[in-house]
Structure 1
Amino acid sequence: MLKTELRADLRQRRAAIRDDERSGLNRRLIRHISASSLWQEARHVGLYLAFNREADITALLEQSDDKNLYLPAISGKLMQFQPVTSQMQMETLSYGLQQPVFIPGASQPDIDLYLMPLLGFDGNGNRLGMGGGYYDRYFAEHHAGIRAGIAYACQQVQQLPTDPWDVTLQHIFTEQGHHEF
């Protein structure tokens, strides 16, 4: 199956989760993340704000007094991570994604753990994103940090098609638990 066909199928799977069920799945997912040694040992964590029915881990922003948190911002084909602060300026992009205002030339932090959204994943650590390639390009330049995907179990497929530039996951968190690749 082509990536475009898979994306459509996986969007449907994710959208089929009822809202009342989704909130319970998100709570279980957050419990697995916060109980993991990855989360407990990380001091600098890249998160994301859920968009388009992605697994919502926003509650982790409230559970992290001992951590420095960062959110991604995109502009054109570029992505950067910015520290979460009370002064952080947010914007909503034309298609509804909320993000920090992109700051051209901002230096990038040394992040220990990246928690990344995705549309699909397989048992080999392959990740299928929304198709913009932002994380792939970011990790081509910033190699440090553990890459963990965040998804619902229904987003797992047997095998994803891959391209040479696709960045793989080292871990996946779903409402069913944590898996290391």
Structure 2
Amino acid sequence: MADSAIEETKAALRREAHIARAALSSEERADAARQVARLFFEDIAFAPDDVIAGYWRIRDELDCQPILVRLIDSGQQVVLPVVQGAEAPLDLRVWEADQPLYEAGFGTLAPSDLAPRAEPDLVLMPLLGFDDAGTRLGYGGGYYDRTLAEIGKKPMLVGLAFAAQELPHIPRGDHDIPLDVVITEAGVRFFGKSA
């Protein structure tokens, strides 16, 4: 499939995924966030010295704050992404328990500009949709693709989503990096060599 056809198909899938995600009630969202957090800590292996990248929920994304708070409370090193520009990779800054978060654009919060940077061993990724091959449908800005291409190691990629966000098939371009795992309120699914 040519790049222009892939992008056209993805644009239609994004509209469909937005509608599915927006249809969820606030109670369904809160219940799903708790269930996903429980499944993350039960089923995802990581070391105490691993750096874990999270995100601060925007719009109607699955809220990973229950995961982040528990990680920080346990002493795990957590980084949050900051958008630096339309064509730049994300800046991954360490969030420490006693440090405030600041408005970082797009309705998200992030650590201070002075916070140290760190490369993650595991990345919790928001998404609009996913399929049974581990293909992630993002917003189309390419931020995570650029960021992952610049990281010196291959982190485990864990998509966090509502079960309603699963799509039958998402076309994958050359730059699209598949997920290793997707966690929804319905369970944990491993893809590829992590399976």
Instruction: Give the counterpart of 1:84 among 95, 101, 121.
Output: 95
Among 6, 15, 19, the residue aligned to 1:12: 19
| Contact 2:101/2:109 (8 A) holds in 1 | no
- Deviation sequence 1:110-150 (CA, Å, 0-9, x none): 32211100001111111010111000001111142111111
Gaps of 5+ in 1: none
* 3-state DSSP of counterpart to 1:38: coil
29-38 vs 83-92, greater mean Cα deviation? 83-92
**One-letter code aligned to 1:91:** E
Match of 2:110 in 1: 99
Do 2:131 and 2:170's aligned partners in 1 also have CA atoms closer than 8 Å? Answer: yes
Deviation at 1:62, TM superposition (A): 2.1
The answer as to whether partners of 2:99 and 2:111 remain within 8 angstroms in 1 is no
Structure 2: distance between partners of 1:37 and 1:13: 26
Residues 1:139 and 2:161 aligned together: no
RMSD of Structure 2 on Structure 1 (CA)? 2.0
Structure 2 portions without partners, runs of 5+: 1-7
Please give the alpha-carbon distance, in whole angstroms, between the structure 2 residues aligned to 1:21 and 1:164.
35
- Find out whether 1:46 has 2:53 as its counterpart: yes
User: Equivalent residue of 2:66, what SS?
Assistant: helix
Identical positions, percent: 31
Q: Distance in 2 between matches of 1:40 and 1:174?
A: 22
User: Please, what TM-score do these two structures have when normalized by structure 1?
Assistant: 0.89
Distance 2:119 2:112 in 1: 20
Verify the 8 A CA contact 1:72 1:80 in the aligned structure 2.
yes
TM-score, normalization: structure 2?
0.83
8 Å CA contact 2:82–2:104 kept in 1: the answer is no
